[in-house]
Amino acid sequence: MDPVQITTQGWKDTGMTIIFLWLLLLFVIAFASNMLLAQGLIPSLTATRHLPRGLERLRRFFYLGASLALIGIGVVVWRIVLQVQVIGDFYARWWI
């Protein structure tokens, strides 16, 4: 089974899907780095006194950043699920 010709709108939708996949990668990296700082590095470095104790107050900002990134992940995954339907427009079989 051969795929049908991809229209201009199909290319636009495919491009948007790729953009959302890149956004997903950025949000996952942002979430992971914020959680690593808030959960791992800051408590460890303040416990060993490599950082001043006052920097533990920054943890809540990193948790806020992680929660915003997690919300972003959810929104982007939702948009990818809606956008990926464009593949069915030019290729009828999903599972080869």
User: pLDDT digits over 38-52, tens only?
Assistant: 999 999 999 999 999
Q: pTM for this structure?
A: 0.84
77 in any annotated domain: yes
Top-confidence residue, 96 or 14:
14
55 assigned to some structural domain: yes
What residues make up the domain containing 64? Answer: 8-89
Which pLDDT score is estimated for 84? 84
Structurally, how many domains does the chain consist of?
1
96 within domain boundaries = no
Is residue 95 one of the residues assigned to a domain? no
Give the burial string for 35-73 (b: 16+ CB within 10 Å, else e).
bebbeeebeeebeeeebeeeeeeebeebeebbeebbebb
Average pLDDT over residues 26-39: 98
- DSSP, collapsed to helix, strand or coil, labels residue 78 as helix
Banded pLDDT at 19 (limits 50, 70, 90): very high
Q: Does residue 1 form part of some domain?
A: no
CA distance 22 to 57: 32
CA dihedral 6, 9, 13, 15 (to 10 degrees): 80
So what's the pLDDT on residue 1?
54
Q: Is residue 94 part of a domain?
A: no
Q: Could you count the other beta carbons within 10 Å of the beta carbon of residue 20?
A: 20
Question: Mean pLDDT across the stretch 80-93?
Answer: 82
Q: Is residue 3 part of a domain?
A: no
